Amino acid sequence: MSGRDNPYGAGAYGGQMTASANYGAAPAVQPAADSAIKDTTTAGFSKDVIEESRRQPVLVDFWAPWCGPCKQLTPVIEKVVNEAQGRVKLVKMNIDDHPSIPGQLGIQSIPAVIAFVDGRPVDGFMGAVPESQVRQFIDRIAGPAGADQAAEVESVLGEAETLLAEGNIQDAAQLYGAVLQADPENAKAAGGMMLCLIAMGETARASQMLASIPEDLAKDAAIQAVAKKLEQIEEARKLGDPLALEHDLALHPDNHEARMKLAKILNVQGQREEAAEHLLMIMRKDRSFDDDGARRQLLQFFDVWGPKDPATIAARRKLSSILFS
């Protein structure tokens, strides 16, 4: 992909962005009295979330009193859930008072919302997203209730994501570029464009584009995922020969250090399911290895893959089975 063919590469963001969110002194928001919204605890999580999600989708909002973006998201998500007229329930968990569950699920940034269906996590998002995105998320989980005002952009981004997953990098880049041309602050499109560069082996250009993105936009989950992916690529280059690691594991299957290295290499090679299986195997055999390092590494993979990736969904289900069985 040349600079002529792709005008949205490195340097495309210079001077074009301004901060669009003010997380200052947001007023404290009291929990809604509606039965569709409630608070939960570590002890009540199984009943309020796992069991309830077998009857209808449950959104779990992980928050904390000191979190400005949480205060911004609270009235938005409560409004949309109440207007959903029973299609979903909202369960709120204060991570300061109840850190165990969010820690096990890898909640490292708040606000974070995870959707549970049939007792399992199936999707999620992070950050104080706009009301339209919350509606789209609920429609995706529980089915649409009305017209989707952002359907066109979401459709284009969804198509681009599919094309990229199928290896059609050029067409995906064109769609991401079209969105960026209309909305230079669209973090999903910017992240997708950088993923296209990485897929073409243009990691240096992806790094340059990442460096050019304004500070506020760089905090978005889509951009952070790309940053972590670039870090993982750089780390994997130093971990050795995967064939040698596989040979060592054939002889010494309990060599968890070698298995961890192989998982990291397989991840950057795009073999996500295999990478996750190696880390889950370590967890099944020895949770104490590297202070539960396999779980922590798997959660880092989730951050990069995204909550909707099939590999994330499959591995998170297996992780939940290990944690809650």
The residues annotated with a catalytic role in the active site are 67, 70
State the Cα torsion 278-268-305-15 to the nearest 10°.
160
Distance from C-alpha of 279 to C-alpha of 276, rounded to nearest angstrom:
5
CB 117 within 8 A of CB 52: no
How close are the terminal C-alpha atoms of the chain, in Å? Answer: 48
Whether the CB-CB separation of 124 and 114 falls below 8 Å is answered with: yes
- Which residue, 164, 239, 159, is CA-closest to 199? 164
The sheet with strand 58-63 has its strands ordered as 37-39, 89-94, 58-63, 112-117, 120-126
- The pairing of beta strand 89-94 with beta strand 58-63: parallel
Collapsing DSSP to helix, strand or coil, 37 comes out as: strand
Residue identified by tokens 């750089």 is 234
The rounded Cα 53 to chain-centroid distance in angstroms is: 21
Collapse the DSSP code of 235 into the 3-class scheme (helix H, G, I; strand E, B; otherwise coil) and give the result: helix
